[in-house]
Amino acid sequence: MKFYCFFIFLSAFTISSSQNIYDFPLDIPVKLSGSFAELRSNHFHAGIDIKTKGKEGYKIYAIDSGYVSRIQVSAGGYGKAIYITHSNGKTSVYAHLKRFSAKIEKIVKSIQYSNKSYSIKKFPKKNEILIDSRELIGLSGNTGSSSGPHLHYEIRDYKNRPENPLKFKKIRVLDTIAPYLENLFYKRLSLNAKTLSLEDNYNPFKKIKLKKISQNLYISDTLSVNGLIGFGIQSEDKMNNSSNVYGLNKIITLLNNKPIFEIKFDKFTFKESRNINAYIDYHNYRKNKFKIQKLFIEGVNPLSMYNRELGNGSLNINSEFSENLYTIQLFDFNDNMTKIIIPIKFIEGGLEVTKITNKPDFQILLNEIFEKKFNTTSLKITENTFYYNSNINISENNFELTIDKDSFPLRKNITIKFSLDRFEDKVKEKLYIAKRKNNGQDLFVSSTIINDSLIAKTQYLGTYFISKDTVAPKVEILNIKPNQWISDRKFLKIKIFDNESGIKKYNGWINNKWILLEYEPKEKILTYNFDDLINTESKNNLKVKIEDNLGNITQKQIVFFRKEEQ
């Protein structure tokens, strides 16, 4: 009996320990600027963002021993990132680094100079680069698509699926604040007669009046309705000692205390991440710039985070539906909960129907290929590109192709073609497809020419047109003047920018030797580190060559003098 009790205690301890095996990768107090599975633009956030006090250069340590399974450097995305695979099959990811540790930096620089490219992606073999637990692997930074200094930190399972890193931490992040509710909505739903699944019917969400009873309890006015309905929320979370807002960890809805819907944001795959656009009301997001989270599951939504055993979360309010209580429970990771109670009452009467004032031009059916040709343009949409059967407007006017508005989420690319028959051959190589944006800054999409047509593949609806770029990029060497001695300088900085099609390539040489220029697109700055020791002579000839997406090139040369300190 004693042995049995000891075995139970040991098993419980082992399970508990296995769930708390990792420490955080920084030595500074941990505060978050972003939580796991937060609702981002077109994706769920795959990790947590750890604040670095608005500064770069904090030491980043490996959370456990393992081997480097991937090193990636890019101007966008994760910037400088390192992936470490551990003995339990999990992989930790550290992104937006300022630089790697000396051991890894040496390997990275070797690859960059060998490939003559700043951007690299390397997958070392299992025992090629071994890492000890708490080994220094880099310094925190702001590289890639980062809006400020921080560490993006992930844990992925053996199938490369991101998991909430807070599940494995030894030290909890202070959070005693329950999620807060900004708005509550409901809408009429439709049921597909063939599949018996929910489908979008273009009915807008309607706001429900709320009364705040306490910090984490809301009660709405009685909702008197009939027919099939679903609810939506606009909600976020907060943590102690932080002005940031975060995503939720779990949502449960109940009808008379019986669960009918649950979504838990604890794991997902990168392949399904874009389906966030089926989870939120995408129409509302594009129009009003805030996200309504749907508390029901439409048939086209493949997300794995739902508890589908509970059903689709909708409510059928009919004559047999007496006065009932619908409850929404919002949880953060620390199980702080906010509760919303909605009394619902059936009323007689016809269903409200959204009136469509202008009949759309075309219907896009999910299981069919759609093709449309105009005088100078054409459009092709393959099967299952939209999330549901959709009615959209498509038109050509003054050589512009307008594919409705960007208020329909797409699962796959659509193909756009523009005929180049009306252009002279010498002009064609400087043409590209651009997308019109509301801020007046048109976006480069594609310059691919096939069979005398410009072709673009895109996942966004909107207005597309042909634009021309004959203007070369601009280059400005910032911290060197001609024939200047700069022995005291550690870095060479060059500003580059292109207001038309955008930068495609950049290269630099000192005395005809290729140099590594690190690109920071947010500041449009190229940086060369003199520690690379390419310039071994006192007199140095710097040459920079910048090319945009239409092949326009700018070259600049300057002579400077520098003597390496002994």
Any residues with CB less than 8 A from the CB of 104 and at least 6 apart, and which? 68, 71, 82, 129, 137, 138
Residue 389 has a pLDDT of 86
Average pLDDT, the chain: 91
Residue 194 has a pLDDT of 79
Residue 15 has a pLDDT of 33
pLDDT digits (tens, 9 = 90+) for 84-121: 999 999 999 999 999 999 999 999 999 999 999 999 99
Buried b (16+ CB within 10 A) or exposed e, 27-44: eeebbbbbbbbbbeeebb
pLDDT digits (tens, 9 = 90+) for 240-279: 989 999 999 999 999 999 999 999 999 999 999 999 999 9
Task: Give the confidence band of 329 by pLDDT, cuts at 50, 70, 90.
Answer: very high
Residue 1 has a pLDDT of 44
Statement: residue 9 has pLDDT above 80: no
Residue 307 has a CB neighbour count (10 Å cut-off) of: 15
Percent of the residues in the chain that have a pLDDT greater than 70, as a whole number: 94
Residue 170 has a pLDDT of 72
- Which residue, among 421, 419, 387, has the nearest Cα to 401 in the 3D structure? 419
C-alpha span between 73 and 77 (Å, rounded): 9
Statement: residue 3 has pLDDT above 70: no
C-alpha span between 240 and 343 (Å, rounded): 32
Statement: residue 358 has pLDDT above 80: no
- Which residue, among 562, 403, 391, has the nearest Cα to 491 in the 3D structure? 562
CA distances from 201 to 242, 283, 356, 378, 559 (A): 40, 12, 11, 28, 66
C-alpha span between 72 and 365 (Å, rounded): 40
Q: With helix as H, strand as E and coil as C, how does 538-555 read?
A: CEEEEEEEEEECCCCEEE
Residue 355 has a pLDDT of 52
Task: Give the confidence band of 472 by pLDDT, cuts at 50, 70, 90.
Answer: very high
- The residue count of the chain comes to 566
Residue 180 has a pLDDT of 94
65 is written with which tokens? 């021993």
End-to-end Cα distance, the chain: 74
pLDDT digits (tens, 9 = 90+) for 495-542: 999 999 999 999 999 999 999 999 999 999 999 999 997 777 899 999
Residue 362 has a pLDDT of 92
Task: Give the confidence band of 566 by pLDDT, cuts at 50, 70, 90.
Answer: low
SS3 196: coil
